[in-house]
A and B are shown apart, each in its own frame.
Chain A
Amino acid sequence: MTLRTTALIAGALGLLLLIGGLIADATRPASFGTPHAALDTPILVIGPELVAMAPGGSITIEGDGGIVAYSARTADAEAWAASRDATQVTGVPTWDDLATAPVAASEPSASPSASASASTSPSASASPAANASSSPAASASASPEPSASAQPAIADIWRDSWDGDGTLTLETDKLPVGLTIVAESADGAPLTDVSMTIDRVVNDGWIAPLKWWGGILAVVGLIALISLLIDHRGAGTKVEEAVASRKTAAPATPGSRRERRETATATGGIPIVTGEDDPTTGEVPVAEEHPASRWAPTTGEIPVQDVQDAAGEGDDAPPAEGTDEGEDRA
């Protein structure tokens, strides 16, 4: 295997590598995923474990109007959302979708269970006026939404708040660690979409080397291919080799046109008359043994066999210029 052949094979492989690298580069996934989910509730709950899944990422909540987001302890956020029409983000099953589920309603007995005094506190008789003005009204109007969102100051269970108009983007690195995020539309209308930007480590370190090495090998192969097509020898060498490469022509078939042409060339254009054509005797002339008797002084005939031999003897010589022999060889 010559060096040129090796280079041609390497070029072919390099071309394949280059194509593969370019395809991989073109179809390489983004360095972050943006799974999302459509929403149809005015409240969205995102737990701290979801926030922790997207370090350096963001959470984008979309709606048709103002959006307010809060952070709170998970227990508080879940208790608050349990009595409302809320959706919770439960996971990231694919790079395209977020899993969501309605927030389950909490059991009414959950909060008072730890304290014996809790169950009876609403019936406190010390200040009926105060009870009438605060707790019953608050709990009754808060659940269906607008009144809760319309509060100018945020409720005490929320630690921080953020707001936006139409779109609210929260950078996860700036969110408090370990707290649940609750987003709520300011006017009680359903939110429309939530998406998360999650960094993903794309295994693409091999693409650039693949392209580089493929390109280099392809160039090597291209050079080999070009050198194959171009004859770098000198002009004199080309002619000599071309002449030397020509082979001796095969003898002409007896009686063929080529044979007659060659014969005519050998006799210098003098027509040959065979014995059978002798108009005077009709005899076949007898060939003489000695070259000196080849010429018949009386008839001027030339023995056909001799002429043919003479012509055959000249086969090794280069054909005379202007004959058809060169064409036949060609």
Chain B
Amino acid sequence: MRRNAAIIGASAAGLLVLAGCTPAVPAAVDAPPAQETSAVTQTQIDRIVPATFAELQAADKAKDVEKLGTRVGGAAVRIRGVEYQLAKAGDKAAIEEIPSTMQAVYVSADETFPRIMVGVTAAPDGATPVVAMWLQEDVNSDYQLVEWAHMVPGATLPAMPGTAVGSAQLPLDTDTVTPSPKQVVEDYVQLLREGNKSEKAPEFAKDTYRERLFAARKVLNAAAEKGDGSYSDFIDTRMSDTYAMATADGGALVFTPLTVKSSLKVKNGATVSISDADKALVNGKLKDKVTHTYRDFIVIHIPANADEKPVVVAADHHLIKVEAK
């Protein structure tokens, strides 16, 4: 009896000793923060940008829009297709040069979709740098170059957070900037529609984009009057394709597309005429009315200081369709 108790005691002690050797499973730890919180880092940018320009250059070389679609999408395909069409018709300057070298890249820090990435290229020959916008529709999509616009002469882009951190993509109705991106776009479209006499004109700093638009409107109005006709234009935007990105100082960059339709109609048997470069795009036979459709893209800087006026820092006016009716 006494011997059995001793054996049991020794066994228990042995088990305790052995149990003491085995540590517990490590406890769960909190996920450490990522070192780079942006949606895309420089590593990813270095894959996206070259792939984009490789596709673009291949399409440019072949003047074949079918070669686009993987890394170049959205309105950029449409615009580039028109440029190829014009180039094939003999317009050697139709295809815009978009340098593949980036001066800066602004990326989103958001975890939601769609996301944007903005690159500022080196300045092409005889032109200002290009602001190009990539869009990632959803988690299963890759970034596509969808819009671009040359910087307005004299404009400067604000400082932006680096690629390791990224910028917040702001809701269009955010109150972090005043006025909100949505309000700015709506007001600017109203200004474009109404011209320099608009009540919204004092709310924006001067820019060459609207000056050229107003100048063209004036010329076309004069031409229409000469033919006893009329001129009208229709300017609209799509908020669904408008994005805002926070700047480093608390302001915002707003990227918005514009659709501009300008119609010229003459009477008394007169016939409208268009430039030779645009004739390749004419759909139908030119008679007394012609409508040009443009796909524009503008970038507006809303300063963090509400006392400063929003200003257009980049804008392009791309002809995408000419209708002879």
Contacts and interface: CB of A to CB of B under 8 A. Distances in A.
B240 A202 contact: no
- Secondary structure of the B contact surface, majority rule: loop
B31 A52 contact: yes
Interface of A: 20, 23-24, 27-29, 33, 35, 47-49, 52-53, 73-76, 79-80, 83, 91-95, 110-118, 120-124, 126-127, 129-130, 133-135, 138-139, 142-143, 148, 153-160, 176-179, 198, 200-204, 207
A24 to B, nearest CB: 6
A48 B114 contact: no
Given A48-B32, A73-B111, A126-B75, A92 B25 contact: yes
B28 interface: yes
A126 B74 contact: yes
B125 interface: no
Contacts, number: 173
Contacts of B138: 111, 135, 139
A124 B76 CA distance: 13
B143 interface: yes
11 contacts: A117-B241, A117-B242, A121-B241, A126-B74, A126-B241, A130-B73, A148-B140, A156-B47, A156-B136, A202-B22, A203-B21
A133 B28 CA distance: 45
A134 B144 contact: yes
Nearest to B29: A52
Interface in B142-190: 142-144, 169, 171-173
B295 A134 contact: no
B43 A127 contact: no
B41 A159 contact: yes
Contact of B239 (A117, A153, A158, A204): A117
Given A73-B39, A80-B139, A203-B23, A126 B32 contact: no
A139 B140 contact: yes
Given A115-B112, A116-B173, A23 B137 contact: no
Closest 10 A-B residue pairs measured CB to CB? A178-B34, A75-B111, A49-B31, A114-B112, A48-B31, A120-B240, A79-B139, A111-B113, A117-B240, A142-B140
Interface string B112-145: 1110000000000000000000001111111110
Contact of B44 (A47, A48, A159, A198): A159
Nearest to A118: B114
B64 to A, nearest CB: 13
Contacts of B37: 73
A130 B320 CA distance: 15
Contacts of A121: 114, 137, 240-241
A94 B22 CA distance: 12
A134 B236 CA distance: 26
Nearest to A106: B139
A138 B26 contact: no
Given A73-B111, A178-B33, A202-B22, A130 B28 contact: no
A176 B73 CA distance: 31
Interface residues of B, number: 61
Interface string B207-226: 00000000000000000000
B261 interface: no
B34 A176 contact: yes
A126 B295 contact: yes
B236 to A, nearest CB: 12
Which among B18, B111, B238 has the greatest number of chain A C-beta atoms within 10 A? Answer: B111
A114 B110 contact: yes
Contact of A127 (B32, B40, B74, B140): B74
Contacts of B41: 159
Contact of B74 (A29, A130, A143, A207): A130
Contact of B22 (A29, A115, A138, A176): A29
A156 B29 contact: no
A23 B35 contact: no
